[in-house]
Chain A
Amino acid sequence: MEDKIFTISEYINLINQGLKEFSAKIIGEVGEVNVWATGHVSFTLKDEKNKSVINCIIWKSRYELYGIELKEGNKIIASGYPEIWPLTGRLSFKAEVIEYAGEGILKKEYEKLKKKLTEEGIFEISRKRAIPTYPQKIGVITSLKGAVMADFSNNLGKFGFKVKIIDSRVEGQTAVVDLLSSIRTFRKENIEVLVIMRGGGSLETLQPFNNEMLVREVVNFPIPVIAAIGHDKDVPLVSLAADLEVSTPSIAAITISESWKEAILFLERLKISLQNFRNNLLNIRNDLNVFWQNSLIGFKGLLLRINQRLENAENIISANNPERQLKKGYSIASFGGKIIKSIKDAAIGKNIDLLVVDGTIISQVKNINPVRGYKGKIEVQNK
Chain B
Amino acid sequence: MPKEDTQNLNSNLKRLAEITEWFDEQEEVDLEEGLKKVKEAVGLIKTSKFRLKEIENEFEEIKKEIDIENK
Chain A positions within 8 Å of B, measured between CB atoms, are 289, 292, 296, 299, 303, 306-307, 309-310, 312-314, 316-317, 320-323, 332, 338-339, 355
Contacts and interface: CB of A to CB of B under 8 A. Distances in A.
Contact of B16 (A289, A299, A310, A322): A310
A295 B70 CA distance: 16
Among A289, A299, A316, A339, the most chain B Cβ lie within 10 Å of the Cβ of A316
Contacts of B59: 299, 303
A322 B55 contact: no
Contacts of B31: 322, 332, 355
A355 B17 CA distance: 28
Contacts of A316: 20, 23-24
Nearest to B59: A299
A306 B28 contact: no
A289 B66 CA distance: 10
Given A310-B16, A310-B49, A317-B41, 10 more contacts: A307-B52, A310-B48, A313-B13, A316-B20, A320-B38, A321-B34, A321-B35, A322-B38, A338-B28, A339-B28
Interchain residue pairs A-B with the least CB separation, the first 7: A320-B23, A313-B16, A316-B20, A317-B41, A321-B38, A322-B31, A314-B45
Q: Tell me the dominant secondary structure on chain B's binding face.
A: helix
B20 A303 contact: no
B61 interface: no
Given A303-B52, A332-B29, A313 B19 contact: yes
A320 B16 CA distance: 13
Q: Could you say which interface size class chain B belongs to?
A: 20 to 34
Contacts of B16: 309-310, 313, 317
Nearest to A355: B31
Contacts, number: 63
Interface string B5-47: 0000100010011011001100011010011011001101100
A332 B32 CA distance: 13
Nearest to A326: B31
A299 B42 CA distance: 25
B52 A310 contact: yes
A15 B33 CA distance: 150
A313 B35 CA distance: 15
A322 B32 CA distance: 9
A322 B13 contact: no
26 contacts: A289-B70, A296-B63, A303-B52, A306-B9, A306-B13, A306-B48, A306-B52, A309-B13, A310-B48, A310-B49, A310-B52, A312-B20, A313-B16, A313-B17, A313-B44, A316-B20, A317-B16, A317-B19, A317-B38, A317-B41, A320-B23, A320-B34, A322-B31, A322-B34, A339-B28, A355-B31
A299 B55 CA distance: 10
